[in-house]
Every structure is written in C-alpha cells, then in structure tokens.
C-alpha cells in the first residue's frame, strides 16, 4: 500500500521527532524516491529545524 503526499508530509514531520516504525519508514522511503515535491518538502523542514536550533543557540 503506497502513501500519498499528504501522508508523506506527516511522516516527514514525525520522523524529525522520533524514529518511524518499519512500515512507515519503508513507505516514506519509497514515496521519496518517486516524489520530487516531497523530497523538497523534506529538505525544507530540515532547513527549518536547523535554523530554529541555531537561532535557539543565539548563533
């Protein structure tokens, strides 16, 4: 069963907070292989997290 972008976007966010389970992880991986939009989205959430952490440290 494949997931759609909306479901993928939730898993991408969740994966920044805790390890995904095997089911989630595999489906997200496969979706990301296929979907440039979600790869971009995932990258942006990471950039957002990094810049928030940096801002939090006063850098």
Partner 1 sequence: MIAHADLEAELPYLQRYALAQLRDRDAANDIVQETVLAALESGDSFSGKSSLRTWLTSILRFKLIDRLRRKGKEVLFESLEDETDDSDFDGLFSKDGHWQDKIKAWSGPEESLMSRQFWEVFERCSEVMPRRTAMAFVMREVMGLEIAEICNNLDVTATNCSVLLYRARMSLRECFEIRWTGEAKA
CB of 8 to partner 1, least distance (A): 9
Kindly tell me which of 26 and 41 has the beta carbon lying closer to partner 1. Answer: 41
CA 7, CA 3: separation in Å to the nearest integer? 6
The token pair that represents 19 in the structure block: 């390890």
Asked if 13 is part of the footprint of partner 1 (rule: CB under 8 A), the reply reads: yes
Q: How many residues bind partner 1 (CB under 8 A)?
A: 31
- 14-43 binders of partner 1 (CB under 8 A): 14, 16-18, 36-38, 40-41
SS3 track for 29-42 = HHHHHHCHHHHHHH
């Amino acid at each position: 069963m494949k997931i759609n972008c909306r479901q993928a976007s939730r898993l991408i966010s969740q994966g920044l907070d805790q390890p995904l389970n095997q089911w989630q992880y595999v489906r997200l991986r496969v979706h990301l292989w296929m979907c440039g939009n979600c790869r971009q989205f995932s990258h942006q959430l990471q950039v957002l997290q990094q810049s928030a952490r940096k801002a939090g440290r006063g850098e």
